[in-house]
Amino acid sequence: MDTNSHVLDHPPEGAAADWTIPQNWDRFTAEEHATWDTLFQRQAKLLPGRASRAYLKGLDALKLSESGIPNFAELSERLMKLTGWQVVAVPGLVPDDVFFDHMANRRFVAGNFIRRPDQLDYIQEPDVFHDVFGHVPMLADPVFADYLAAYGRGGNRALELGALKQLGRLYWYTVEFGLIAEPEGLRIYGAGIVSSSAESHFALEDPSPNRIGFDLKRVMRTDYRIDDFQQNYFVIPSFDELLRATVETDFAPLYEEILGQPDIPIATILPEDQVITHGTQEYALSRA
């Protein structure tokens, strides 16, 4: 689930005041479970050597390899023991404040539908595969789990300070599309990458995108695209460092500073950037 704007301003019929709905796991058809299995098997093959250690450890600890769409009650029980997080179902995108409140209270909201068999490679709205396979393994990591809960608290603060767009970019470039430098090399941990077969290759192996060392203010000023592969990936040195740079920093003065500065266009490299890969942008150019 992303910090997108929403369609409704009140919970739809059948949803609770906090927008959650029963997962009704029994309602998924054999074909829907098979779609999960197909997606799972494809990604599980790709991720060793590409996904971060924390992600792979979480995938294993949560037993996500069991066949079929995970039952949220069972998944939450395992997750709760590890980091105090739960997974709850929602009908689709929810209002920003609702999204942040759940997160601050260690509840990850997940879409309650799965893509159709003809949408295996791409869907616009996050489904249960993106939300659970992409996001939930990282929530089994104690440091990342603390980061996301703090992000939820920071979200409501950003709403008050008029800096939702700036904070949203931090989510985008870490939680959704983050890379990490591990001793063996760059690895992916962002949910948008680990849940996508094509972007798992692209983010690490393609010469097109820039790969730039993570810098909080830089990230919060950088535009992004939502409809294609990224043209920039930001690389954190460790989850401890990400936590330190965000949780231990008061964002109010940062927002004030960057709200007065221009946004940084997609794909631009700045003189002060710590450039890991200077992308050719050939993929983006071929699509222009």
Q: Give contact residues for Fe ion (rule: CB under 5 A).
A: 2, 126, 191
Give the nearer residue to ligand PHE in terms of CB position, either 249 or 261: 249
154 binds, among Fe ion, ligand PHE, none (CB under 5 to 8 A by kind): ligand PHE
Q: To which residue do tokens 């709905």 refer? A: 21
| Residue 94 and residue 109 in contact, taking contact as beta carbons nearer than 8 Å | yes
Q: How far is the CB of 154 from ligand PHE (least distance, A)?
A: 3
Residue whose Cβ sits closest to ligand PHE: 154
Q: How far is the CB of 101 from ligand PHE (least distance, A)?
A: 14
Number of neighbouring beta carbons within 10 Å of residue 209: 25
* Positions in the binding site for ligand PHE (CB under 6 A): 147, 150-151, 154, 157, 170, 246-247, 249-251
Instruction: Say how far apart CA 169 and CA 264 lie, in whole Å.
Output: 11
Q: How far is the CB of 261 from ligand PHE (least distance, A)?
A: 18
How many helices (H) and strands (E) the chain has is answered by 14, 7
Q: How far is the CB of 167 from ligand PHE (least distance, A)?
A: 6
102 sits in the region (left: phi over 0; alpha: psi -120 to 50; else beta) called: alpha
157 binds, among ligand PHE, Fe ion, none (CB under 5 to 8 A by kind): ligand PHE
Give the nearer residue to ligand PHE in terms of CB position, either 82 or 247: 247
**Residue 188 β-bridge partners:** 51, 179
250 binds, among ligand PHE, Fe ion, none (CB under 5 to 8 A by kind): ligand PHE
Instruction: Say how far apart CA 171 and CA 81 lie, in whole Å.
Output: 25
191 binds, among ligand PHE, Fe ion, none (CB under 5 to 8 A by kind): Fe ion
Give the nearer residue to Fe ion in terms of CB position, either 19 or 255: 19
Instruction: Say how far apart CA 34 and CA 45 lie, in whole Å.
Output: 17
What the block records as the tokens of 29 is 């058809």
Rg, Å, the chain Cα set: 18
Give the nearer residue to Fe ion in terms of CB position, either 128 or 158: 128
